[in-house]
Amino acid sequence: MPRNTLIPPPRRVRRASAIAATSALVGGALMIAPAAFAAPDAEAPNDLGLTGADVMTHLTELSTISESYADEGYRTWDGPGYEAAAQYAEKVLADTGAFTVTRHAFDVPYSDFGVASLVVDGTVYTGSHFDNSEGTDGDVTAPLALPVSEDGGFLGCAASDFAEVPAGSIVLVQRGICSFEEKIGFASDAGAAAVFIYNNERPPEENTAPEDQLTNVTSGPRNEEDSPAATLPQASGDAIQALITAAPEDAPVEGTATIEKQFLVGKSFNIIADSTAGDPDDTVVIGAHLDGVAEGPGVNDNASGSAAVLALAEKIAASEVPNDKRIRLALWGAEEIGLLGSTAYVNDLVANDPAEWDRISSYLNYDMIGSENFTVGVYDADRSTFPADGVNIPEGSEAIEKIYTDYFDAIEQPWIDTEYSGRSDYQAFIDNGVPAGGLFSGGDDIKTEEQVEMFGGTSGVFMDRNYHTVDDTLANINRDSVDIFAPAIGHAAAALAWTAAVEPSPEPTVEPTVEPTTEPTTEPTAQPTTEPTAQPSPSPSTTTGPGPRDNLAKTGSNAEGSPLPAIGVGMLVIGALIAAGTVVARRRPQE
């Protein structure tokens, strides 16, 4: 998952009582009530039998692959580790016998980073790059300046903050309040020779890279008219700010900025697996990103979500009752550098095969499900906790959220809202009107005391202290978290892709957690597969038919309850499905 540089407020806890409603076979005919449907035994909602152990089997293999390519960028989108992980995933999917597996290739605009530094009075202050900001043409030496807001701060969140900044200055700006894109834009309009944005607060020591350096941060889409820009740690920014403030007006302190960057274009691919069963005119897409960052093996982010998708594929194939809707499993590439794989896939369908795009009725996203200091987060589509400013949430997304929350309530598992921010691969889907939902165990969000009471763990630190670091390893996966999320993932697939009942697990496959653990129960056992089982360049389906988002609930719908399909004695239960809209959203730049 790309780094979010804002820490959202604590999540509000929501709990709902399990819904109890039934429908019965009367005189051999199915009687469907217009109310929410629940399993006869509300303690055993269907989850396709998906367990944490199933997920860990594949997570162990992906971990082994990632670690074996430690010297080559682990599982970065353009590295051999990503190819090896993809070949393993393709083999798993093909071996189920229930999916047609292809690769979807796409172009990857990317940046090659060199030095990012600011030298002042002989001291070298090392910085880091924004993903899409401009670089300098060699070294740039110029006076240093600060924007000044009405309250005396240096945030640079208004054009007026730069009124006293001389054109051609190297501008030092404090992080906070507005987006990096806005700060760089205002400084560029003022004629800055370069812009350095320094961190505004230092998190607890165990939460941060050395000197609280900001890494993997975005400043919005590339704008070649912008001034070169980079980041600095808080301590560096504070020291330089003090020098600028102390310098006399007629003798400003000077600095030398070096921001080395090249913009290039590469190639990567997504893995797309379509179920052979199910109505091709009504497709449920379930995805996770397979790529990772170069800083570490990326076992939680996001081999964990990818492993869940692979384990889910095996359970779908093993189901005695075939899925009624087509299920499309997707493992996305280049997510870590801007959600590029999922965005390219959606844009390709929308532009080149709109009929096939219209067959997609919903999207489910799984990005990090094993955080060591986890919470059980459900994307807050109904905005009951987070306003989701700037994100238009398609109609039908609230009903997807309710599928998860009703499930957790049925098994008495605490859960919280997590921000519906467009921070992961569901963004392109909601941008184009497809209802979406998903789960998240937490990343660079600070865990609260209230959340510790619910899930265990440690307050005041990140939910995943290993996020985007070399310590994102199998040993730091929290098995309690995986055990909770896995059956919920199976349940959501069953709720959306089956319109007839399927046999539930006899007992819930997850218990409420008290204290998280950090020791995995499996060890790496296999080496990467060397032969791919699928070839690149799939062609989109040309089948025509009505767009399923016009009538997602083909056997009935209910806005109040979530589906809990099951078979009981003399009783058949139908899952409530969702209606969708075509609201278009805009990706919000990170701040």
What angle do the packed helices 479-497 and 305-318 form, to 10 degrees? 50
| Active-site residue identified among 61, 295, 335, 336 | 335
**Alpha-carbon span 129 to 231, nearest angstrom:** 6
Strands 279-289 and 325-332: parallel
CA 237 to chain centre: 30
Helix axis angle for 52-68 and 479-497, nearest 10°, is: 110
How many CB atoms neighbour CB 378 within 10 A? 25
What's the residue count for the chain? 591
Cα separation, 304 vs 289, whole angstroms: 10
The encoded tokens of residue 136 equal 């300098």
150 is catalytic: no
Distances from the Cα of 414 to the Cαs of 120, 279, 429, 458, 519, in angstroms? 52, 35, 28, 17, 22
Close Cβ partners of 210 (under 8 Å, ≥ 6 residues apart): none
**Residue-wise DSSP of 36-98:** ----SSTT----TT--HHHHHHHHHHHHHHHHHTGGGTTT-TTSHHHHHHHHHHHHHHHHTSS
Phi, psi (rounded to 5 degrees) for 365: -125, 135
Residue holding tokens 């990503």?
82
Beta strands in 121-161 (DSSP E): 123-126, 128-129, 140-145
Closest to 354 in 3D by CA, of 582, 103, 101: 582
Rounded CA separation 309/11 (Å): 26
The set of catalytic residues is 335
